[in-house]
Amino acid sequence: MGTKTLVISAMLFSFYLNAQTKFESLADREEIMELLQKYKVPAMGLGIIENGKLIAVNAYGEIKKDVTAPYNTIFDVASLTKSVVTMTTLQLVENGDWNLDKPLYSYWVDPDIINDSLHKKLTTRHVLTHTSGFNNWRWMDATGKLQFHFEPGKKFKYSGEGFEYLRKALESKFKISLQRLSDSLLFRPLGMKDSRHAWDENVDESRFAIGHDTLKNSYKLPKEKKPNGADNVLTTIEDFGIFGINVFEKLNTTKGAYQEMVKPQVMVREKIAMGLGWFIFPDLPNDEYALYNAGGDSGVHTVVVLLPKSQKGVIIFTNGDNGYLLYKELLPKLLEVGAEIINRI
């Protein structure tokens, strides 16, 4: 483990192997707890990937009042869902069951845009690169209906609606839910036993990190029952670490769709591009580039950074509205290129 990577303090990220064969950091918990207190964030999950291996899984703080966060705390990861849906979709592409550039109207058309001829141009590539032409959510439009703001493919515009459109197209073609697709193609094959797109009887609520506002007041537990293509995946640090390692493995062993994933498809702004389902930070120090995604909902802030060349990664989940302040402070201390990434956001 490089000392340059983990520099929060001399003791902060020493590691040992426990009886369950999981690494847990012997972190200076006082220092971590001080950061949680500073930003009024009740709990944080942290995962570290080094050399393509998950070497640290830990949780700090409380998932709710007076309940200590276990290492396998379940978090809602908000928009990190989009990276999960991307990997599920790309597996279908690799299997020959889906085409990135086939118009989605072949499978499904949203009633709001059926009379707009632009719907015949919309493809999966447009959705995954956030060039669909849709607003983030249809309720942001004055009409409350889905509409194109430009021709698909013309420019970047972040859109959860695009990923929901893709979900509906996938479910229409395969006649099964997004949950079953992800189960069969991603969660079960990888052993992501605590991951799912929505609440069901298998969620261990006793391990769930309830969201909190900026003053650490808890929000009502939402318990979304239906999968959303853009939001609400429930998972643990360990599961998402396994997911991150799988991204590395696909890039190392597979050509085709996964190589398209890490090619800059459209510029978001200076020094940030969009690949398929991932923000790309090119031209980082040490000849590195990063895959990045972040999520934020009420009481939720999460981030994942993967460095494909050096096979390093950091995953941070929080259950507080101020969680983004926490990870903005931590990333520069956890990754050599972390400060550069934060400066570009």
Helix (H) or strand (E) holding 171: helix 160-174
Please give the structure tokens belonging to residue 310.
């050096």
| CA dist., res. 55 & res. 249, Å (int) | 16
| CA dist., res. 46 & res. 41, Å (int) | 14
Give SS3 for 81.
Answer: helix
| CA dist., res. 140 & res. 251, Å (int) | 36
| CA dist., res. 69 & res. 172, Å (int) | 39
Please give the structure tokens belonging to residue 2.
């490089």
Is residue 46 within 8 A of residue 56, CB to CB? The reply is: yes
- Backbone torsions φ then ψ of 101, nearest 5 degrees: -115, 10
- Backbone torsions φ then ψ of 60, nearest 5 degrees: -135, 150
- Rounded to the nearest 10°, the torsion over CA 207, 212, 217, 220 is -70
Per-residue pLDDT of the chain (345 residues; tens, 9 = 90+): 343 333 333 333 333 223 222 444 444 567 888 999 999 999 999 999 999 999 999 999 999 999 999 999 999 999 999 999 999 999 999 999 999 999 999 999 999 999 999 999 999 999 999 999 999 999 999 999 999 999 999 999 999 999 999 999 999 999 999 999 999 999 999 999 999 999 999 999 999 999 999 999 999 998 999 999 999 999 999 999 999 999 999 999 887 999 999 999 999 999 999 999 999 999 999 999 999 999 999 999 999 999 999 999 999 999 999 999 999 999 999 999 999 999 999
Give SS3 for 84.
Answer: helix
Cα dihedral 250, 202, 301, 225 sign: positive
